[in-house]
A and B are shown apart, each in its own frame.
Chain A
């Protein structure tokens, strides 16, 4: 079966711009989570969606937002980009609690 698909794979943006990242989960997985990965902080939880509802949110500023569509596809948006937002953004889907994540390959965002 197809894995988790994230687009785009690479992105270069300028400070102050906004960006939208997309994630298509594995078919049948209704839980979609987003993580930010940086060398210094490791994997940091952004948010988790289930059936179009945000169930959990991490400790990120309001510039980071997301949503999930009825087909379980998810998007995350970062507004007013800062240099510190440069990171690998990972989307992961899961069948449910107590099951492992399947991660996508990530979107490498560079803010200049």
Chain B
């Protein structure tokens, strides 16, 4: 069955640096992949969706890449700020369904 792996260890970086988070999946390559941000006690917030035919997508300080050969997506936050501290989740649809698998998320802490 399809699985997603995200680095479960927290990532601490200095303000102003670029944070890079990894999402690896097994088995088939999904038609698209999504990234979400979640703050404690709140529901996830949708950030970006990247389709299999897109290598890279940007939104303000966010950049996502999708490598179907490596079965990996990278999520970058440039010029990181303390307000970017949160847990970031990736999600993919299971094949042929409207059911999504979420990674367990990577907790990012941006130090001032």
Contact = CB atoms under 8 A, between A and B. Distances in A.
Interface in B44-62: 44-47, 49, 51
A108 B40 CA distance: 12
A31 B99 contact: no
Main secondary structure of the interface of B (DSSP, over half): strand
Main secondary structure of the interface of A (DSSP, over half): strand
Interface size class of chain A, counting residues whose CB lies under 8 Å from the partner chain: 20 to 34
B42 A105 contact: yes
Interface residues of B, number: 25
Contacts of A2: none
A61 B93 CA distance: 22
Given A43-B89, A97-B93, A99-B49, A106 B42 contact: yes
Interface of B: 31-32, 34, 36, 41-47, 49, 51, 89, 91, 93, 97-105
Given A42-B89, A100-B34, A103-B44, 16 more contacts: A31-B98, A42-B103, A43-B44, A45-B101, A56-B97, A56-B99, A58-B99, A88-B41, A90-B43, A97-B98, A98-B31, A100-B49, A101-B34, A103-B43, A105-B42, A106-B41
